[in-house]
Amino acid sequence: MTIAPEFSRTLPWAAVGQEGRRQSLQATPAECAALARRFGIPAIEAFSAELELRPEGDEAIRVRGHLSARVVQSCVVTLEPVAQSVEEAVDLRFLAAGEEPSEDPEGPDEIPAERDLLELGEALAEQLALALDPYPRAPGAELPLEVREEEEEPLRRNPFSVLKGGKA
């Protein structure tokens, strides 16, 4: 059973054409709310992308552009809401059916196209999830002194210091 993505924007492979195309995507408020639930954050207030799609032979379509989002995350210290803007470059490569992914770790993320459809929305949602701040903090938020003292590693005596000059 396949679950439909919260932000689905499919495009037929053939719609890109040999000359390529530009594509603008914007999530609805309901899609933003569903993505926020999926990511476990209080809110996604806006989510959009501007993309340029270009064929790379018959085997791939390169998608480059920029995604923008306004999100609200919980501060890791105080749990207060932290509003943030996310601006992220997008560089993806959709692969035709049967094409093997590249071994290049420095290359773009590669996504197999299913049934000759590019699922741009889900690919962008995944990019947004990766771009979220893993440790958002409210301005001025600090851990309590007791916690900071517990986290500090106590200085340990080097057991080999005896060998270095006979002093312990």
pLDDT greater than 60 at residue 41: yes
What pLDDT digit, counting tens, does each position of 148-162 carry?
555 555 556 666 666
pLDDT greater than 90 at residue 102: no
What is the distance between the alpha carbons of residues 33 and 27, in angstroms, rounded to a whole number?
Answer: 10
Confidence label for 103 from pLDDT (cuts 50, 70 and 90): confident
Least confident span in 53-62, 80-89, 116-125, 159-168: 159-168
What pLDDT digit, counting tens, does each position of 116-141 carry?
899 999 999 999 999 999 999 888 87
Neighbours of 141 (CB within 10 A): 14
Which among 65, 73, 68 is positioned nearest to 86, based on CA atoms? 68
Helix (H, G, I), strand (E, B) or coil at 13: helix
Take residue 163 and report the two structure tokens written for it.
Answer: 């060998």
Phi then psi for 70, rounded to 5 degrees?
A: -115, 120
Confidence label for 37 from pLDDT (cuts 50, 70 and 90): very high
CA atoms within 13 A on the CB side of 49: 28
pTM for this prediction: 0.79
Between 45 and 144, residue with greater pLDDT = 45
Between 164 and 20, residue with greater pLDDT = 20
Q: H or E segment at 48?
A: strand 43-56
Confidence label for 62 from pLDDT (cuts 50, 70 and 90): very high
- Taking residues 23-51, report their average pLDDT: 97
* Domain map (residue ranges) of the chain: 10-141
